[in-house]
Amino acid sequence: MLRLRAREPARPPDQERIESDRVVADWTPAPHHKALDGYVSGGILGVLFDCHRNWATVHFLMQAKGLTRPPDIVLFPELSSCGYMFHVDIFLDKLEFSHDVEFGKKPGDGRLELDSPTISLTDIVLEKLQIHKIARKDLVDLMILFFGHDVKPMANGEKEAVDAGYISGLMADDWGFWYDATQNLAKVRQLMGTFVGEGRMKPEAASRIEARVGALEAGLRAVPKGRHWEKRSKVGTAKPWYREVEEVVR
């Protein structure tokens, strides 16, 4: 399965929006979409990217201008005047950035099928926790996720809960991912304290987020660690534990 997700990136801090709109398209190739055995035709992929990008652009432009139907003509200077630039995330077998987040290789039996139209809440949390040089907007995203969704030792298919057991198990033999995840959770707590101190977050909201961050941290501490985790933990930060990722700016 191929998943395309067009999103509106965060605005500058003085105009920051807590939630970004998303336009998601799921597409599963059929046998007649093959170019060669094991390869999907590049032509159909090009059409998917092009059409999804265009209609996502129209969607965001309609929202920005309060339109109820697509405009007859879309001029790209019109988009720049609204302050819009768009990024498209493409999910295949796995997300490969600072650390890997696996989605599965078998069509119809992977983590992309756990929820729709987005990836699962647990995978969204993982997508944020894997970032080595995490940005403020990603910390805010994690706060929103933890405010709105409980963290449970095992989600057991519950779509509205974050599965701490799955996350902890995934990192039980990956010290680098575990280390960055725990550091990022600490940064969530630090930024949350700043927001409370500035009067930008109510203490009761912070308490809810704190409890859920704590639940995930407890799972990460308690999970039995594997041999590779133990060996790599002895090296610690003396050697790089993450993949260098270039920021793509369009």
Residues 167-207 pLDDT 10s: 999 999 999 999 999 999 999 999 999 999 999 999 999 99
Supply φ then ψ for residue 27, to 5 degrees. -145, 130
Identify residue 245 by its one-letter amino acid code.
Answer: V
pLDDT tens, position by position, 68-124: 776 654 444 444 444 445 555 665 678 889 999 998 876 667 888 888 777 899 999
Per-residue pLDDT at 75: 46
Q: Which of 43-57, 119-133, 148-162, 177-191 is the least confident region? A: 43-57
pLDDT bin (cut points 50, 70, 90) of residue 239 is very high
- Residue given tokens 């796995």 in the structure block: 94
70: three-class secondary structure by DSSP:
coil
Cβ partners under 8 Å of residue 156, min gap 6 = none
For residue 10, pLDDT over 50 is answered with: no
Pairing of the two strands 34-36 and 39-40:
antiparallel
With cut-offs at 50, 70 and 90, classify the pLDDT of residue 51. confident
Bridge partners (DSSP) of residue 5 are: 24, 89
- Start-end of H helices in 28-174: 42-65, 76-81, 121-129, 136-148, 164-171
The 3-state DSSP class for residue 204 equals helix
Q: Evaluate whether 205 touches 144 at the Cβ level (below 8 Å).
A: no
Q: What is the C-alpha to C-alpha distance for residues 11 and 18, in angstroms, rounded to an integer?
A: 10
What pLDDT is recorded for position 47?
A: 76
Amino acid (1-letter code) at residue 40? V
Radius of gyration of the chain from Cα atoms? 20
